[in-house]
Amino acid sequence: MKAEHRKELQTNFLADRMGRLMQGMKAGPQTSGSVVVWVLAALTIGTIVAWYVAGMNSNRSPLWVRFEKDSADHDLEGLRSLATSNPGTLPARAARFQRARVSLQEGLANLYSNQRDAAVSQVKQARQLYADLAQECTDDPILAPQALMGAAKAEEALAGIPKGDDSAESLGSVDKALEYYHRLAKDYPNSFLAKAAQERIDNLEKSRDDADKFYQEMRKLVAENQEK
């Protein structure tokens, strides 16, 4: 059997096992459908940011034009350059949100595939971007909740990824994810994401043992797959 084909079979096996775990879990992402709902909730960030930008983009400044072009072209390097070259500007902040959104979307889509290493890097990058943005946007009732939700989703996703070959340790923390969810629900109760955050808090805290067991099993499966 060719190595490439064997790797594909291992990846499919892991995905199948992941699906079975999700179906049997009593807390958290109970079914594949609910996982999709949570991912979509996090990914609405991009749409909301676009509305936020459009409302302030009356003069069509060169930086906004550049942001729109890089976003349309899916040019993450261009967005990174825009942000680093123009710190403190609204287009730079929008560029960072866009990078975080795309990195999280692509990372979650491939986190349990044969592109896992790249996907993990993307989710980690999104986590850092969102965490930094959450600190910077505390006085913004529109952007702060989005940053907190993005950071929480990235943190929780990485709880199912082992640190190296040790399945006992993870790259993310459910406790840290809960901190973000709590901050969102408490500090921005009127935001459209507050209800979603509170529901996630209730699910995780109601059946925390099941959630921890779920993520532990995910890490074991990933670690086993890496060894093959």
Distance of CA 53 to the CA centre of its chain: 21
Q: Who wins on pLDDT, 114 or 2?
A: 114
What is the end-to-end Cα distance of the chain in Å, rounded?
Answer: 14
- Per-residue confidence (pLDDT) for residue 66, from 0 to 100: 92
- Per-residue confidence (pLDDT) for residue 44, from 0 to 100: 55
Give per-residue pLDDT as tens, 115-172. Answer: 889 999 999 999 999 999 999 999 999 899 999 999 999 999 999 999 887 888 999 9
Q: How many Cβ atoms are within 10 Å of 56's Cβ, its own excluded?
A: 12
**What is the longest distance spanned by two Cα atoms in the chain?**
60
- Per-residue confidence (pLDDT) for residue 13, from 0 to 100: 44
Give per-residue pLDDT as tens, 5-16. Answer: 444 444 444 444
Q: Who wins on pLDDT, 1 or 95?
A: 95
- What is residue 193's three-state secondary structure? coil
| Mean pLDDT for the chain overall | 80
Distances, alpha carbon 30 to alpha carbons 83, 104, 198, 211, in Å? 38, 21, 16, 10
- Per-residue confidence (pLDDT) for residue 49, from 0 to 100: 58
- What is residue 163's three-state secondary structure? strand
Instruction: Give the position of tokens 């989710």.
Output: 123
